[in-house]
């Protein structure tokens, strides 16, 4: 296996120069840097992570704190994990998955034992027990999600308020004056995750501006609950009904419920759901969806924490970034010309 000494000999430079090119700690001329990089590629040299950590006092590992809880839609969660891991590798970092079994103590452990250089926290609750610890750590911490009090914290998330506005706007433009919003599962709502409140606020704001009647009904993962919610919306709707289902697992049950009542998305009912592009296209009627851009949120979370690590400044830091949501139009919303034809 080649060493940094072999790279130095191949490039015709000192071994310390190879180290400086890899670490970026000292300015190196472009000509010398290219010689070293060419030698690295030729020899397929990979720096020893342990030696590099000792030299730089950094592990080049980012801890990703994930709550593996039953109500989470795991396919959606793994989309975040996959994107975070691939982006981290582009920035020469690895990801360490940290489950929430230890709670706040887990944060202290991985940082105190110098297992990782910084942390990304997912599924942040409104009042989250991890936040006092996150504020006190001397390493960068980035939250995917926004707590009630984001002071002294670095937060990034999809713009759920904009997502709610766009969904209502889209259905109103299609001619619907009454819209049913199927809520997240009660377990998610009870965790007081901030994105639920922001989404509801966005739908309410758009409905008020457009004069649309919104019916916020109960969500869940059982057919009986969704059936009652659908019937409640149908009973109060004149003309063709419309539904927004911002949670993937709830949306799947909604579509089955509508089918059992002879309602077909895009024909005699409009539905805007939440699914990855691949999944949305697999439905019998391709589903119009709220695109919360999880890959972009994940990419930015890694870029932010790597930027903080490179700056070398100790916490706490404070910033809040929202990634704009979009609506991806497919076939599940009745358009005005379709309504006239029917």
Q: Are residues 336 and 200 in the same domain?
A: yes
Of residues 110 and 9, the one with the higher pLDDT is 9
Q: Are residues 145 and 239 in the same domain?
A: no
User: What's the pLDDT score for residue 310?
Assistant: 85
Q: Which domain holds residue 99?
A: 61-158+294-323
User: Is residue 27 classed as helix, strand or coil in its secondary structure?
Assistant: coil
Asked if residue 338 has pLDDT above 60, the reply is no
- Specify if 262 maps to a domain: yes
49 with 92: CB under 8 angstroms?
no
**Helices 15-23, 4-11: inter-axial angle, 10-degree rounding:** 110
User: Is residue 241 classed as helix, strand or coil in its secondary structure?
Assistant: coil
Q: Are residues 334 and 197 in the same domain?
A: yes
User: What's the pLDDT score for residue 313?
Assistant: 67
Q: Are residues 149 and 286 in the same domain?
A: no
Closest CA to 231 of 222, 239, 241, 221: 241
- Number of other CB atoms surrounding residue 136 within 10 Å: 14
Of residues 48 and 67, the one with the higher pLDDT is 67
Asked if residue 253 has pLDDT above 70, the reply is yes
Asked if residue 342 has pLDDT above 60, the reply is no
**Position of tokens 């076939």?**
331
Q: Are residues 337 and 194 in the same domain?
A: yes
How much of the chain exceeds pLDDT 90, in percent?
Answer: 52
Which pLDDT tens digit goes with each residue over 272-301?
999 888 889 999 999 999 999 999 999 999
Compute CA 17 distance to the chain's CA centroid, rounded to the nearest angstrom: 39
Note the pTM of the prediction, 2 decimals. 0.78
- Specify if 53 maps to a domain: no
Closest CA to 211 of 264, 252, 175, 185: 175
| pLDDT band with cut points at 50, 70 and 90 for residue 191 | confident
Q: Are residues 121 and 192 in the same domain?
A: no
**Helices 294-311, 74-90: inter-axial angle, 10-degree rounding:** 40
Instruction: Give the mean pLDDT of the chain.
Output: 86
Spatial distance between the Cα atoms of 323 and 292, rounded to a whole number of angstroms: 8
Render 95-147 in DSSP notation, one character per residue: EEEEEGGGTHHHHHHHHHTT--SEEEEES-BSS-TTHHHHHH-SS-EEEES--
User: What's the pLDDT score for residue 340?
Assistant: 46
Asked if residue 54 has pLDDT above 50, the reply is no
Of residues 74 and 307, the one with the higher pLDDT is 307
60 with 92: CB under 8 angstroms?
yes
- Specify if 52 maps to a domain: no
- What CATH number does residue 219 fall under? 3.40.50.2300
Asked if residue 302 has pLDDT above 90, the reply is yes
CA distances from 217 to 160, 170, 220, 243, 333 (A): 18, 19, 10, 10, 20
- Specify if 276 maps to a domain: yes
Looking from the CA of 231 toward its CB, the CA atoms found within 13 Å total 8
Of residues 66 and 257, the one with the higher pLDDT is 257
107 with 135: CB under 8 angstroms?
no
Q: Span 83-104, mean pLDDT?
A: 83
Q: Are residues 190 and 130 in the same domain?
A: no
Q: Are residues 203 and 337 in the same domain?
A: yes
Say which DSSP state 193 is in. B
Spatial distance between the Cα atoms of 28 and 213, rounded to a whole number of angstroms: 64
User: What's the pLDDT score for residue 123?
Assistant: 83
Q: Span 18-41, mean pLDDT?
A: 80
Q: Are residues 256 and 301 in the same domain?
A: no
User: What's the pLDDT score for residue 100?
Assistant: 62
Compute CA 299 distance to the chain's CA centroid, rounded to the nearest angstrom: 9
Which pLDDT tens digit goes with each residue over 99-141?
765 566 667 777 766 788 899 998 888 888 888 888 888 889 9
- Specify if 173 maps to a domain: yes
- Specify if 56 maps to a domain: no
Q: Span 175-197, mean pLDDT?
A: 90
| pLDDT band with cut points at 50, 70 and 90 for residue 186 | confident
Residues in the chain: 342
| pLDDT band with cut points at 50, 70 and 90 for residue 27 | confident
User: What's the pLDDT score for residue 294?
Assistant: 92
Given the DSSP bridges, would you call strands 270-273 and 319-323 parallel, antiparallel or unpaired?
unpaired
For the chain, what is the domain count?
3
User: What's the pLDDT score for residue 206?
Assistant: 98
Ramachandran assignment for 295, one of left (phi > 0), alpha (psi -120 to 50 degrees), beta (any other): alpha
Spatial distance between the Cα atoms of 171 and 160, rounded to a whole number of angstroms: 17
176 with 223: CB under 8 angstroms?
no
Query: Rounded to the nearest 5°, which phi and psi values hold at 133?
Result: -70, -45
Q: Are residues 232 and 151 in the same domain?
A: no
Which pLDDT tens digit goes with each residue over 216-237?
999 998 999 999 999 999 999 9
49 with 104: CB under 8 angstroms?
no
């Amino acid at each position: 296996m080649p060493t940094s000494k072999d790279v130095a000999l191949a490039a015709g430079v000192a071994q310390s120069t190879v180290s400086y090119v890899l670490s970026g700690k000292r300015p190196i001329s472009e000509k010398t840097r290219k010689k070293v990089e060419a030698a690295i590629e030729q020899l397929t040299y990979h720096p020893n992570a342990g030696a590099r950590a000792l030299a730089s006092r950094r592990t080049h590992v980012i801890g990703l704190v994930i709550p593996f809880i039953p109500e989470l839609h795991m396919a959606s969660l793994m989309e975040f994990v996959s994107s975070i891991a691939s982006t981290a590798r582009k920035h020469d970092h690895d990801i360490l998955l940290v489950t929430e079994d230890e709670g706040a103590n887990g944060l202290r452990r991985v940082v105190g034992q110098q297992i990782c250089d910084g942390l990304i926290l997912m599924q942040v609750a409104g009042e989250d027990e991890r936040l006092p610890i996150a504020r006190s750590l001397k390493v960068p911490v980035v939250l995917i999600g926004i707590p009630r009090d984001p002071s002294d914290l670095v937060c990034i998330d999809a713009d759920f308020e904009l997502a709610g506005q766009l969904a209502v706007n889209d259905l109103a433009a299609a001619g619907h004056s009454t819209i049913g919003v199927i809520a997240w599962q009660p377990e998610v709502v009870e965790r007081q995750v901030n994105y639920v409140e922001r989404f509801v606020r966005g739908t309410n704001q758009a409905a008020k501006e457009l004069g649309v009647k919104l019916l916020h009904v109960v969500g869940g993962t059982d057919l009986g609950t969704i059936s009652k919610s659908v019937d409640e919306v149908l009973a109060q709707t004149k003309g063709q009904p419309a539904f927004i289902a911002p949670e993937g697992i709830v949306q799947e049950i909604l579509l089955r419920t509508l089918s059992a009542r002879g309602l077909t998305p895009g024909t005699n009912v409009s539905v805007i759901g939440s699914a990855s592009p691949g999944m949305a296209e697999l439905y019998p009627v391709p589903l119009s969806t709220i695109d919360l851009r999880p890959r972009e949120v994940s990419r930015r979370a890694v870029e932010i924490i790597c930027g903080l690590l490179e700056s070398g400044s100790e916490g706490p830091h404070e910033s809040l970034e929202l990634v704009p949501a979009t609506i991806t139009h497919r076939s599940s919303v009745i358009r005005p010309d379709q309504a006239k034809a029917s």
